[in-house]
Protein backbone atom coordinates (compact mmCIF):
# COMPACT_ATOMS: atom_id res chain seq x y z
CA UNK A 1 0.00 0.00 0.00
CA UNK A 2 1.18 3.51 -0.86
CA UNK A 3 -0.89 6.10 0.92
CA UNK A 4 -0.68 9.72 1.83
CA UNK A 5 -2.43 11.90 4.38
CA UNK A 6 -3.44 15.47 3.57
CA UNK A 7 -4.87 18.05 5.94
CA UNK A 8 -4.02 21.18 7.89
CA UNK A 9 -1.44 21.18 10.69
CA UNK A 10 -2.96 19.54 13.78
CA UNK A 11 -5.61 17.60 11.84
CA UNK A 12 -4.28 14.33 13.26
CA UNK A 13 -2.28 13.18 10.21
CA UNK A 14 0.64 11.89 12.26
CA UNK A 15 -1.63 10.18 14.81
CA UNK A 16 -3.62 8.35 12.14
CA UNK A 17 -0.80 7.75 9.64
CA UNK A 18 1.30 6.06 12.32
CA UNK A 19 -1.54 3.67 13.17
CA UNK A 20 -2.25 2.79 9.54
CA UNK A 21 1.45 2.24 8.83
CA UNK A 22 1.80 -0.06 11.87
CA UNK A 23 -1.25 -2.02 10.81
CA UNK A 24 0.02 -2.41 7.23
CA UNK A 25 3.61 -3.10 8.28
CA UNK A 26 5.03 -0.26 6.15
CA UNK A 27 7.03 2.80 7.28
CA UNK A 28 5.34 6.03 8.35
CA UNK A 29 7.29 8.76 6.57
CA UNK A 30 6.59 12.25 7.92
CA UNK A 31 8.52 15.10 6.30
CA UNK A 32 8.25 17.17 9.51
CA UNK A 33 9.83 14.31 11.51
CA UNK A 34 12.68 14.02 8.99
CA UNK A 35 13.32 17.76 9.27
CA UNK A 36 13.16 17.76 13.07
CA UNK A 37 15.78 14.98 13.19
CA UNK A 38 18.13 17.23 11.17
CA UNK A 39 17.33 20.21 13.39
CA UNK A 40 18.00 18.16 16.53
CA UNK A 41 21.37 16.92 15.29
CA UNK A 42 22.34 20.33 13.93
CA UNK A 43 23.17 19.29 10.35
CA UNK A 44 23.58 22.12 7.78
CA UNK A 45 20.19 21.10 6.33
CA UNK A 46 18.67 21.29 9.82
CA UNK A 47 20.14 24.73 10.46
CA UNK A 48 18.76 25.98 7.12
CA UNK A 49 15.32 24.35 7.63
CA UNK A 50 14.90 25.67 11.19
CA UNK A 51 14.81 29.27 9.93
CA UNK A 52 11.65 28.50 7.98
CA UNK A 53 10.05 26.10 10.48
CA UNK A 54 10.33 28.53 13.42
CA UNK A 55 8.39 31.14 11.43
CA UNK A 56 5.75 28.66 10.28
CA UNK A 57 6.84 28.85 6.63
CA UNK A 58 7.48 25.92 4.34
CA UNK A 59 11.08 24.94 3.71
CA UNK A 60 12.15 25.27 0.04
CA UNK A 61 10.85 22.57 -2.32
CA UNK A 62 14.27 21.39 -3.50
CA UNK A 63 15.41 20.73 0.05
CA UNK A 64 12.35 18.74 1.14
CA UNK A 65 12.06 16.85 -2.16
CA UNK A 66 15.66 15.65 -1.81
CA UNK A 67 15.12 14.63 1.82
CA UNK A 68 11.91 12.66 1.18
CA UNK A 69 13.24 11.04 -2.02
CA UNK A 70 16.24 9.73 -0.08
CA UNK A 71 13.93 8.30 2.57
CA UNK A 72 11.73 6.65 -0.07
CA UNK A 73 14.83 5.01 -1.52
CA UNK A 74 15.52 3.15 1.71
CA UNK A 75 14.76 -0.59 1.46
CA UNK A 76 11.91 -0.63 4.00
CA UNK A 77 9.84 1.68 1.76
CA UNK A 78 10.05 -0.65 -1.25
CA UNK A 79 6.89 -2.55 -0.33
CA UNK A 80 4.86 0.53 0.60
CA UNK A 81 4.66 3.57 2.86
CA UNK A 82 2.32 6.05 4.48
CA UNK A 83 3.40 9.61 3.71
CA UNK A 84 2.42 12.40 6.10
CA UNK A 85 3.06 16.10 5.47
CA UNK A 86 4.48 15.55 1.99
CA UNK A 87 3.64 16.69 -0.65
CA UNK A 88 2.56 20.16 0.42
CA UNK A 89 3.02 22.10 -2.85
CA UNK A 90 2.30 21.47 -6.52
CA UNK A 91 6.02 21.13 -7.21
CA UNK A 92 6.33 18.47 -4.50
CA UNK A 93 3.27 16.60 -5.83
CA UNK A 94 4.71 16.58 -9.36
CA UNK A 95 8.04 15.39 -8.05
CA UNK A 96 6.33 12.57 -6.14
CA UNK A 97 4.38 11.61 -9.26
CA UNK A 98 7.67 11.43 -11.19
CA UNK A 99 9.26 9.31 -8.49
CA UNK A 100 6.31 6.90 -8.39
CA UNK A 101 6.19 6.65 -12.21
CA UNK A 102 9.94 5.92 -12.35
CA UNK A 103 9.46 3.12 -9.85
CA UNK A 104 6.19 1.85 -11.40
CA UNK A 105 4.53 2.17 -7.99
CA UNK A 106 1.31 4.22 -8.14
CA UNK A 107 -0.39 5.66 -5.07
CA UNK A 108 -3.31 3.63 -3.72
CA UNK A 109 -5.09 6.48 -1.98
CA UNK A 110 -4.97 9.94 -0.41
CA UNK A 111 -6.78 10.47 2.87
CA UNK A 112 -7.99 14.00 3.46
CA UNK A 113 -8.60 14.64 7.17
CA UNK A 114 -11.18 17.39 7.61
CA UNK A 115 -11.00 19.35 10.88
CA UNK A 116 -12.23 22.93 11.51
CA UNK A 117 -9.71 25.56 12.67
CA UNK A 118 -11.08 26.02 16.21
CA UNK A 119 -10.50 22.31 16.87
CA UNK A 120 -7.02 22.56 15.32
CA UNK A 121 -5.99 25.44 17.58
CA UNK A 122 -7.10 23.47 20.65
CA UNK A 123 -5.27 20.35 19.50
CA UNK A 124 -2.01 22.17 18.77
CA UNK A 125 -2.03 24.14 22.01
CA UNK A 126 -2.08 20.85 23.95
CA UNK A 127 0.24 18.82 21.72
CA UNK A 128 3.33 17.27 23.27
CA UNK A 129 5.98 15.44 21.26
CA UNK A 130 8.46 12.71 22.04
CA UNK A 131 11.78 14.02 20.66
CA UNK A 132 13.12 10.46 20.38
CA UNK A 133 10.38 8.63 18.43
CA UNK A 134 8.33 11.69 17.35
CA UNK A 135 5.07 10.26 18.69
CA UNK A 136 2.54 13.01 19.38
CA UNK A 137 0.40 13.16 22.52
CA UNK A 138 -2.21 15.60 23.75
CA UNK A 139 -2.36 16.71 27.38
CA UNK A 140 -6.15 16.24 27.50
CA UNK A 141 -7.18 14.00 24.58
CA UNK A 142 -4.32 11.55 24.25
CA UNK A 143 -2.10 11.81 27.33
CA UNK A 144 0.83 9.49 28.07
CA UNK A 145 0.39 6.96 30.90
CA UNK A 146 3.07 8.70 32.96
CA UNK A 147 2.56 12.45 33.12
CA UNK A 148 5.29 13.88 30.84
CA UNK A 149 7.04 10.73 29.56
CA UNK A 150 6.67 8.85 26.25
CA UNK A 151 4.87 5.50 26.69
CA UNK A 152 7.16 3.86 24.11
CA UNK A 153 10.64 4.95 25.22
CA UNK A 154 10.32 6.96 28.45
CA UNK A 155 11.73 10.17 26.93
CA UNK A 156 10.53 13.44 28.48
CA UNK A 157 7.95 15.03 26.15
CA UNK A 158 8.46 18.51 24.71
CA UNK A 159 6.26 21.27 23.31
CA UNK A 160 7.02 22.04 19.66
CA UNK A 161 8.25 25.65 19.28
CA UNK A 162 6.05 26.05 16.17
CA UNK A 163 2.90 25.12 18.15
CA UNK A 164 3.02 28.57 19.75
CA UNK A 165 -0.21 30.49 18.89
CA UNK A 166 1.33 33.11 16.52
CA UNK A 167 3.19 30.48 14.53
CA UNK A 168 0.09 28.24 14.36
CA UNK A 169 -1.84 31.12 12.76
CA UNK A 170 0.91 31.53 10.18
CA UNK A 171 1.03 27.77 9.50
CA UNK A 172 -2.72 27.66 8.89
CA UNK A 173 -2.44 30.55 6.37
CA UNK A 174 0.47 28.88 4.59
CA UNK A 175 -1.52 25.63 4.39
CA UNK A 176 -4.49 27.43 2.82
CA UNK A 177 -2.30 29.29 0.33
CA UNK A 178 0.08 26.53 -0.70
CA UNK A 179 -1.48 23.15 0.04
CA UNK A 180 -5.26 23.35 -0.35
CA UNK A 181 -4.81 23.30 -4.13
CA UNK A 182 -3.50 19.75 -3.83
CA UNK A 183 -6.94 18.56 -2.76
CA UNK A 184 -8.25 19.21 -6.28
CA UNK A 185 -5.08 17.72 -7.78
CA UNK A 186 -5.68 14.37 -6.04
CA UNK A 187 -9.44 14.55 -6.46
CA UNK A 188 -8.96 14.88 -10.22
CA UNK A 189 -6.66 11.86 -10.06
CA UNK A 190 -9.52 9.91 -8.44
CA UNK A 191 -7.45 9.20 -5.33
CA UNK A 192 -8.89 11.52 -2.69
CA UNK A 193 -10.99 10.08 0.15
CA UNK A 194 -12.50 12.56 2.60
CA UNK A 195 -12.57 11.59 6.28
CA UNK A 196 -14.16 13.57 9.11
CA UNK A 197 -11.27 14.11 11.56
CA UNK A 198 -13.40 15.36 14.46
CA UNK A 199 -14.03 12.91 17.28
CA UNK A 200 -11.96 10.63 19.45
CA UNK A 201 -8.75 9.18 18.03
CA UNK A 202 -10.26 5.66 17.92
CA UNK A 203 -13.40 6.91 16.21
CA UNK A 204 -11.39 8.71 13.51
CA UNK A 205 -9.17 5.63 13.12
CA UNK A 206 -12.26 3.55 12.42
CA UNK A 207 -13.39 6.02 9.75
CA UNK A 208 -9.92 5.96 8.16
CA UNK A 209 -9.96 2.15 8.02
CA UNK A 210 -13.44 2.18 6.49
CA UNK A 211 -12.36 4.78 3.93
CA UNK A 212 -9.35 2.68 2.97
CA UNK A 213 -11.49 -0.39 2.62
CA UNK A 214 -13.91 1.47 0.41
CA UNK A 215 -11.69 3.91 -1.45
CA UNK A 216 -8.16 2.56 -1.81
P1 LIG B 1 -0.72 16.55 12.45
O2 LIG B 1 0.25 15.43 12.20
O3 LIG B 1 -1.81 16.60 11.42
O4 LIG B 1 -0.06 17.87 12.66
P5 LIG B 1 -1.11 15.26 15.06
O6 LIG B 1 -1.39 13.83 14.72
O7 LIG B 1 0.24 15.59 15.62
O8 LIG B 1 -1.49 16.21 13.81
O9 LIG B 1 -2.24 15.73 16.08
C10 LIG B 1 -2.25 17.07 16.61
C11 LIG B 1 -2.61 17.02 18.09
O12 LIG B 1 -3.96 16.60 18.24
C13 LIG B 1 -1.78 16.05 18.94
O14 LIG B 1 -1.64 16.61 20.22
C15 LIG B 1 -2.64 14.78 18.97
O16 LIG B 1 -2.39 14.03 20.16
C17 LIG B 1 -4.04 15.38 18.98
N18 LIG B 1 -5.04 14.56 18.29
C19 LIG B 1 -4.88 13.83 17.16
N20 LIG B 1 -6.04 13.24 16.80
C21 LIG B 1 -6.97 13.65 17.72
C22 LIG B 1 -8.37 13.41 17.91
N23 LIG B 1 -9.07 12.63 17.05
N24 LIG B 1 -8.98 14.00 18.95
C25 LIG B 1 -8.29 14.79 19.81
N26 LIG B 1 -6.99 15.06 19.69
C27 LIG B 1 -6.32 14.50 18.66
P1 LIG C 1 4.80 19.11 10.37
O2 LIG C 1 5.54 18.28 11.37
O3 LIG C 1 4.26 18.32 9.23
O4 LIG C 1 3.75 19.99 11.03
O5 LIG C 1 5.88 20.09 9.73
C6 LIG C 1 6.58 21.03 10.52
C7 LIG C 1 7.24 22.08 9.65
O8 LIG C 1 8.23 21.47 8.80
C9 LIG C 1 6.31 22.81 8.68
O10 LIG C 1 5.65 23.92 9.29
C11 LIG C 1 7.30 23.27 7.60
O12 LIG C 1 8.09 24.37 8.04
C13 LIG C 1 8.25 22.08 7.51
N14 LIG C 1 7.77 21.08 6.53
C15 LIG C 1 7.36 19.80 6.79
N16 LIG C 1 7.02 19.17 5.65
C17 LIG C 1 7.18 20.07 4.65
C18 LIG C 1 6.96 20.04 3.25
N19 LIG C 1 6.48 18.93 2.63
N20 LIG C 1 7.23 21.15 2.52
C21 LIG C 1 7.70 22.25 3.12
N22 LIG C 1 7.91 22.37 4.44
C23 LIG C 1 7.67 21.28 5.21
For residue 167, which ligand has an atom nearest its CA? Answer: 2
CA distance linking residue 56 with residue 50, whole number of Å? 10
Does residue 112 carry a catalytic annotation? Answer: no
Residue 50 is among the residues annotated as catalytic for this protein = no
How far is ligand 1, taken at its centre, from the CA of residue 102, in Å?
A: 34
> Is residue 214 over pLDDT 90?
no
Return the pLDDT at 140: 94
> Which residue's CA is the closest to the ligand 1 atom numbered 4?
10
Pocket flag, ligand 1, residue 52 (CB < 6 Å): no
> Known catalytic residue: 88?
yes
pLDDT score of 24 more than 60: yes
* pLDDT tens per residue, range 146-202: 989 999 999 999 999 999 999 999 999 999 999 999 999 999 999 999 999 999 999
Ligand 1 centroid – CA 104 distance (Å): 33
pLDDT digits (tens, 9 = 90+) for 108-133: 999 999 999 999 999 999 999 999 99
Marked catalytic residue, from 127, 128, 135, 207: 127
pTM here is 0.96
**Residue 166 vs residues 43, 56, 162, 163: alpha-carbon distances, Å:** 27, 9, 9, 8
Amino acid sequence: MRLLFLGPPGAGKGTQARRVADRLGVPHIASGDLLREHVATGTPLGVEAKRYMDRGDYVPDDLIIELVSQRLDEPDAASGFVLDGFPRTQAQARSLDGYLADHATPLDGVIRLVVPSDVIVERLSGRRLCPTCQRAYHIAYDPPDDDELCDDDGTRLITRPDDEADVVRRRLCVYEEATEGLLAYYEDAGLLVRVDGVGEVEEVAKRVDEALGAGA
